[in-house]
A and B are shown apart, each in its own frame.
Chain A
């Protein structure tokens, strides 16, 4: 079956530090990959996505590259801000069949200190 593994949190960084949150996946087909973010008191929202190998998704200064050879989709940001404090979820949707429910990792709680 499909699964997503992401690094355990909480991850605590100082403002302007470099961020990496690791994500690896297992899929039976050819998945699309996503990062979702949940800010305090808010619902889940899509941060970025990539639909094929070597694609790079980017949004709000965050980036992630679809690496088929390492089955990874690591999230990076060059300089984090306090406002980036949130829970980040890596997720996938397998290809084909019409059923496109997301398979999520457990989430990584990111805390940015001023």
Chain B
């Protein structure tokens, strides 16, 4: 069974530029999560989707971050414009449904210069 796929694996941008990350969850998984992991800290939830609906985006900085899951499968997370403090690893996870085991992708490492 294929795991959670993410791309790109690495991205370097200048501050004030925009960037987008892509996630393909495990087939059949209805729930998808985006987490931000800053160096030396644990992952922090940004947004949770159930199919194509948002369940929780209370920690998403909505002035610069956006996410969508239009067809209830793949998801994209966008940052526009990026700030230095957005440098982090962005993790995507999926689960069959809420309160099931979450499976994590390899992450996208973002460096903002």
Contacts and interface: CB of A to CB of B under 8 A. Distances in A.
Interface in A29-52: 32, 42-46, 49
A35 B91 CA distance: 17
A103 B99 CA distance: 13
Given A100-B98, A101-B56, A106 B48 contact: no
A89 B42 CA distance: 7
Contacts of B55: 98-99
B48 A100 contact: yes
Nearest to B95: A100
A103 B41 CA distance: 11
Interface in B87-106: 91, 93, 98-99, 101-106
A107 interface: yes
Interface residues of A, number: 21
A105 B98 contact: no
A44 B99 contact: no
Interface string B4-37: 1000000000000000000000000001010100
| Closest 9 A/B residue pairs (Cβ) | A104-B42, A101-B45, A99-B56, A44-B104, A43-B104, A43-B106, A100-B98, A99-B55, A104-B43
Interface of A: 4, 32, 42-46, 49, 89, 91, 93, 98-107
Interface of B: 3-4, 31, 33, 35, 40-45, 48, 50, 55-56, 91, 93, 98-99, 101-107
Given A43-B104, A99-B55, A102-B35, 8 more contacts: A44-B91, A44-B93, A46-B102, A49-B101, A98-B50, A100-B99, A102-B45, A107-B41
